[in-house]
């Protein structure tokens, strides 16, 4: 269960290492204390599927994490942008996301590879899952429960329990959290043919780390985050987001961790709500002498209702 109170929220839970024996918890706005991220993990979690049973991959996996500090190709030719305007609009959209984000399901395809120090593939897997997000409000705040269940004939594998909270990553632009970062507007460009402001952010050393923390056997290791966001200049929606760590998490032997997220609007007609949610997420991790690559692809979003007795109604088609 992921909980956030006011602006607090847990973003990502990943497992460290090929065997998934250790876990890392990434959270944002957790000033009141880190909450637990719990996913149902049946005995099938450790099961290995033979190569003949694996589903074919939709696209080849390759090591290509974003370099969030590299100069923008179009920076020289791009017109300047006003940071205050970009942050004001992005903050408004982030607040709407908190207000409008509801219980939903999606179909998720996960593709995974682990590479050794020589670049040789040490482990790989792929599968399709029913991804479920359930939000519950109370006087203590809002809890977000996320789960992945393999489609019929599939199975859970370590990489399929790693990344949770991806719909909430753009909430770093909430007005209450913007001050945790040094932010600069690098110029105006286009993303998918739409005009966009490019905002670079980096965790400030004089502010508490509320976005990312790794957890190992009860110990918590906050980690500083940096990245870039492509924000639609017409609406303030985050269309693309790239992140990495400012420095390694030495106690957990994590050299770096990266995300590259493509967002797209999802129109839920039954509730007359349009929410920008991740459509493609590429996650990369450098751990000890391993590198892991995990691709997430989301589709077929549907809303559903939850009764007070926790019985889930039939999903409504968007």
Query: Is the whole model's pTM more than 0.75, yes or no?
Result: yes
The residues that bridge with 143 in the sheet, in sequence order, are 3, 136
Residue 170 pLDDT greater than 70, yes or no = yes
Please check whether residue 312 lies inside any domain of the structure.
Answer: no
Residue 258 pLDDT greater than 70, yes or no = yes
The residues that bridge with 303 in the sheet, in sequence order, are 104, 316
How many Å from the N-terminal Cα to the C-terminal Cα in the chain? 26
Query: CA-to-CA distance for 120 and 113, rounded, in angstroms?
Result: 10
Q: How far is C-alpha 21 from the chain's CA centre? A: 21
pLDDT for the residue numbered 58 = 59
Segments forming the whole domain that contains residue 73: 2-303
Query: CA-to-CA distance for 147 and 149, rounded, in angstroms?
Result: 7
Query: CA-to-CA distance for 75 and 278, rounded, in angstroms?
Result: 26
Residue 63 pLDDT greater than 80, yes or no = yes
pLDDT for the residue numbered 60 = 80
Residue 240 pLDDT greater than 90, yes or no = yes
Residue 246 pLDDT greater than 60, yes or no = yes
Residue 99 pLDDT greater than 70, yes or no = yes
Sign of the dihedral through C-alpha 227, 232, 236, 239: negative
Please check whether residue 39 lies inside any domain of the structure.
Answer: yes
**Which of 149-163, 170-184, 191-205, 272-286 bottoms out in mean pLDDT, i.e. has the lowest?**
149-163
Q: Pick the residue with more confidence: 220 or 245?
A: 245
The residues that bridge with 10 in the sheet, in sequence order, are 27
Written as six digits, the tokens of 252 are 């957990």
**Which of 68-77, 124-133, 135-144, 162-171 bottoms out in mean pLDDT, i.e. has the lowest?**
135-144
Neighbours of 240 (CB within 10 A): 19
Please check whether residue 267 lies inside any domain of the structure.
Answer: yes
Residue 43 pLDDT greater than 60, yes or no = no
Residue 137 pLDDT greater than 70, yes or no = no
Q: What is the pLDDT confidence band of residue 283, given thresholds at 50, 70 and 90? A: very high
Written as six digits, the tokens of 178 are 């913007």
Phi, psi of 182 (to 5 degrees): -80, 120
- Report whether 282 contacts 163 (CB < 8 A): no
Query: CA-to-CA distance for 207 and 224, rounded, in angstroms?
Result: 10
90: region left, alpha or beta (phi > 0 left; psi from -120 to 50 alpha): alpha
Residue 54 pLDDT greater than 70, yes or no = no
Please check whether residue 310 lies inside any domain of the structure.
Answer: no
Residue 230 pLDDT greater than 80, yes or no = yes
Tokens 């991790």 locate to: 285
Please check whether residue 59 lies inside any domain of the structure.
Answer: yes
Query: CA-to-CA distance for 261 and 132, rounded, in angstroms?
Result: 19
> What mean pLDDT do residues 129-145 have?
73
Q: How does pLDDT run across 301-315, given as a tens digit for each residue?
A: 888 765 444 444 444
Number of compact structural domains in the chain: 1
Q: Pick the residue with more confidence: 170 or 27?
A: 170
Q: What is the pLDDT confidence band of residue 164, given thresholds at 50, 70 and 90? A: low
Residue 317 pLDDT greater than 60, yes or no = no
> Which class for 150: exposed (0-12), middle (13-18), buried (19 or more C-beta within 10 A)?
middle
Please check whether residue 317 lies inside any domain of the structure.
Answer: no
The residues that bridge with 23 in the sheet, in sequence order, are 15
Of residues 104, 176, 164, the one with CA closest to residue 133 = 104
Q: What is the pLDDT confidence band of residue 28, given thresholds at 50, 70 and 90? A: very low
Outline where 79-174 has alpha helix (H). 83-100
Residue 42 pLDDT greater than 50, yes or no = no
Please check whether residue 85 lies inside any domain of the structure.
Answer: yes
Please check whether residue 308 lies inside any domain of the structure.
Answer: no
Of residues 273, 272, 285, 195, the one with CA closest to residue 236 = 195
Query: CA-to-CA distance for 214 and 227, rounded, in angstroms?
Result: 18
């Amino acid at each position: 269960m992921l909980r956030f109170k006011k602006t607090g929220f847990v973003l990502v839970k990943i497992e460290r290492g090929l065997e998934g024996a250790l876990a890392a918890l990434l959270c944002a706005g957790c000033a009141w204390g880190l909450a637990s991220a719990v996913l149902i993990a049946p005995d099938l979690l450790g099961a290995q599927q033979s190569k003949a049973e694996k589903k074919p991959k939709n696209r080849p996996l390759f090591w290509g994490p974003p370099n969030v500090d590299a100069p923008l190709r179009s920076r020289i030719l791009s017109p300047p942008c006003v940071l205050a305007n970009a942050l004001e609009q992005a903050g408004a959209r982030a607040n709407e996301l908190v207000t409008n984000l509801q219980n939903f399901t999606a179909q998720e395809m996960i593709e995974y590879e682990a590479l050794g120090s020589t670049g040789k593939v040490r482990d790989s897997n792929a599968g399709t899952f029913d991804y479920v997000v359930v939000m519950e409000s109370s006087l203590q705040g809002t809890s977000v429960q996320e789960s992945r269940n393999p489609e019929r004939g599939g199975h859970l594998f370590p990489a399929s329990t790693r990344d949770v909270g991806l719909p909430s990553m753009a909430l770093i632009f909430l007005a209450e959290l913007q001050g945790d970062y040094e932010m600069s507007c690098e110029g105006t460009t286009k993303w998918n043919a739409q005009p966009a402001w490019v905002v670079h952010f980096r965790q400030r050393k004089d502010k508490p780390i509320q976005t990312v923390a790794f957890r190992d056997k009860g110990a918590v290791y906050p980690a500083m985050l940096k990245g870039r966001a492509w924000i639609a200049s017409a609406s303030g929606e985050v269309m693309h987001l790239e992140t990495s760590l400012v420095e390694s998490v030495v106690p957990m032997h994590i050299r770096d961790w990266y995300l590259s997220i493509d967002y797209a609007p999802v129109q839920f007609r039954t509730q007359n709500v349009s929410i920008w949610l991740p459509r493609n997420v590429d996650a990369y991790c450098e751990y000890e002498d391993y590198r892991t690559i995990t691709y997430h692809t989301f589709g077929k979003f549907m809303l559903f209702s939850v009764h007070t007795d926790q019985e889930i109604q039939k999903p409504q088609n968007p």
